[in-house]
Amino acid sequence: MSSAAPRILAPPTCSTWTPRACRCTSAWRLVVGATAPTEMADLRGSSELPFLIPGIGAQGGDLEGSVRAAWNGDPASCLVSASRSVLFAEKPSQEAAKAKDAINAVVGALR
């Protein structure tokens, strides 16, 4: 992760955007990689928008740290994505099941 601060882009449906002031009804999400759980926790403190979390598979991101940082009690608060690790696995269905089980174990511990 670079030392530069994460960039936040305001949804075009919001005339102004402040961390908790934007209550857009569109399907906006914040994309924060699982390789940056510390930054994710900082961002969660500033936004209630759902997080899309790529990077838990082939990129080697921190699944548990990222989900803990993004989770706000709402089941829709984070969507974890594993693409390459499943797509290029020898047995993609088994790899997908393994990723799902790992994600559910972390979320289950938070509920």
Pairing of strands 51-54, 78-81: parallel
- Domains plus CATH for the chain? 30-110 (3.20.20.70)
The stretch 70-92 carries a mean pLDDT of 91
User: What tokens appear for 26 in the block?
Assistant: 């569109």
Q: What is the pLDDT of residues 20-47, one digit of tens each?
A: 555 555 566 788 899 999 999 999 988 8
**Average pLDDT taken over every residue of the chain:** 81
- Is residue 45 within 8 Å of 32, Cβ to Cβ? no
Task: Give dist(CA 32, CA 51) in Å, integer.
Answer: 7
